[in-house]
């Protein structure tokens, strides 16, 4: 299932003209990890995600939920 994160990473990779192989080499992560990330795998190591996002000037962070998303 494609997630916002997976869509964003794939879009940034294409914007910079990188293949999945290029991205994995530049970020220092395995090709399988890049593929898992872009396919929306639900469990990923945050440090490795940040290795990729850092190439694009971004990082994972805590974002407050919108009030409409409160399920309590």
Q: What is the pLDDT of residues 14-38, one digit of tens each?
A: 999 999 999 999 999 999 999 999 9
Residue position matching structure tokens 């593929």: 35
Give residue-wise pLDDT tens across range 32-57.
Answer: 999 999 999 999 999 999 999 999 99
The domain segmentation of the chain, as residue ranges, is: 4-58
CATH code of domain 4-58 = 1.10.260.40
pTM of the predicted structure, to 2 decimals: 0.82
Task: Please state, in angstroms and rounded to a whole number, the distance separating the CA atoms of residues 35 and 64.
Answer: 28
Given this model, what pLDDT does residue 25 score? 98
Q: How many other CB atoms are there within 10 angstroms of residue 52's CB atom?
A: 25
Residue 70 has pLDDT above 90, yes or no: no
What is the residue-wise DSSP string for 38-71? HTT-S---HHHHHHHHHHTT------PPPGGG--
Percent of the chain with pLDDT over 70: 93
């Amino acid at each position: 299932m494609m997630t916002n994160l997976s869509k964003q990473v794939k879009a940034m990779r294409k914007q910079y003209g990188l293949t999945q192989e290029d991205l994995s080499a530049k970020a220092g992560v395995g090709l399988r990890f890049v593929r898992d990330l872009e396919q929306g795998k639900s469990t990923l190591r945050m440090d490795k995600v940040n290795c990729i996002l850092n190439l694009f000037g971004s990082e994972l962070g805590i974002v407050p939920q919108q009030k409409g998303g409160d399920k309590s």
